[in-house]
Amino acid sequence: MALNEIAKRSNKTVYRDGDLCYKVFAADYNKADIFNEALNQTRVEETGLFIPKVHEVKRLDDGRLAIVMDYVEGKSLMQLESENPAKSAEYLTRLIDVQLSMHALSAPNLNKQRDKFTRKIDLSGLDATTRYELHVRLDSMPKHHKLCHGDFNPSNVIITNDDRACIIDWSHATIGNASADAARTYLLFKLAGNDKTAENYMTAFCKKSDTARQYVDQWLPIVAASQMVKGKPEEKEILGKWVDVCQYE
């Protein structure tokens, strides 16, 4: 096996081996999360959406687990944008078009977004009164069954050499409300410090999907509380502000 490293994170490394891609997880990575990611991706395959097909979950000689999937030749929208910032508006439009085409699909066997949010609110570390508010809000939101990615951002969309968009990284996929998925993308831009892109994204998403901004905004306290579970100290303050919006509405 001639593995070429293509991306490295603290707890995983992605390699290419010819036509295959190995997403290799650190030895202490939660095993159920690895199998869940592979299962999610397999279920999304069934929708016919263009994504890397999963071949197997494999234990490597060094003991680590890897999801083995198709390698997708191309560049992520993040890479394209950094190489060609003049085209950033075009790439943002592409990002939204790809996201909306995904939201048009459903994958009945995927986990439910609502269940995921319920669990995350409980694990957020927020006080009981705030958690109660968030649960009430979540209960009041419309129940949809759309394919949602849960981590939809420019690094997870690869544009192939023949200009097709391939969505990768399905660990957080659920079926649920598309506006929650959009609120999450907005939050990811904000957390990355891309305020301007976040606003442009939100405006364009609402326009293209004919969704009221206020409606997407209603999801922000819920997605912010969910993000708190990651416990990143540098995000604590900004997430707290979004959750607080809950108290004043």
- Find out whether 235 and 243 touch, Cβ atoms under 8 Å: no
The minimum distance between CB 77 and Mg ion, in angstroms, equals 11
75 binds, among Mg ion, ligand ADP, none (CB under 5 to 8 A by kind): none
Residue closer to ligand ADP (CB basis): 34 or 220: 34
Q: What is the DSSP letter of 235?
A: G
Q: Which of 81, 133, 169, 181 binds Mg ion (CB under 5 A)?
A: 169
Distance CA 77, CA 165 (A): 9
What is the secondary structure of 8-76 as a DSSP string?
E-SSEEEEEETTEEEEEE-TTS-HHHHHHHHHHHHHHHTTT---PPEEEEEE-TTS-EEEEEE---EEE
Cβ neighbors of 43 (< 8 A, separation 6 or more) are 107, 109, 110, 173
Report how many residues bind Mg ion under the rule CB under 5 A.
2
Residue closer to ligand ADP (CB basis): 14 or 96: 14
Q: Which stretch in 51-59, 97-105, 166-174, 202-210 sits in contact with Mg ion by CB under 5 A? A: 166-174
Cβ neighbors of 11 (< 8 A, separation 6 or more) are 25, 26, 28, 29
Residue closer to ligand ADP (CB basis): 134 or 188: 188
Write the Ramachandran bin of 143: left for phi over 0, alpha for psi from -120 to 50, otherwise beta. Answer: beta
Q: Which of 41, 42, 124, 156 binds Mg ion (CB under 5 A)?
A: 156
183 binds, among Mg ion, ligand ADP, none (CB under 5 to 8 A by kind): none
Residue closer to ligand ADP (CB basis): 56 or 244: 56
The minimum distance between CB 38 and ligand ADP, in angstroms, equals 12
Q: Is 174 a binder of Mg ion (CB under 5 A)? A: no
6 binds, among Mg ion, ligand ADP, none (CB under 5 to 8 A by kind): ligand ADP
The minimum distance between CB 59 and ligand ADP, in angstroms, equals 19
Binding positions for ligand ADP, rule: CB under 6 A: 6-7, 9, 12, 14, 21, 23, 52, 69-72, 76, 155-156, 158, 168-169
Distance CA 140, CA 181 (A): 17
Q: What is the DSSP letter of 64?
A: -
Structure tokens belonging to residue 137: 């809000």
114 binds, among Mg ion, ligand ADP, none (CB under 5 to 8 A by kind): none
Cα distances (Å, whole numbers) of residue 33 to 14, 46, 105: 16, 20, 24
Q: Is 81 a binder of Mg ion (CB under 5 A)? A: no
Contacts to Mg ion by CB under 5 A = 156, 169
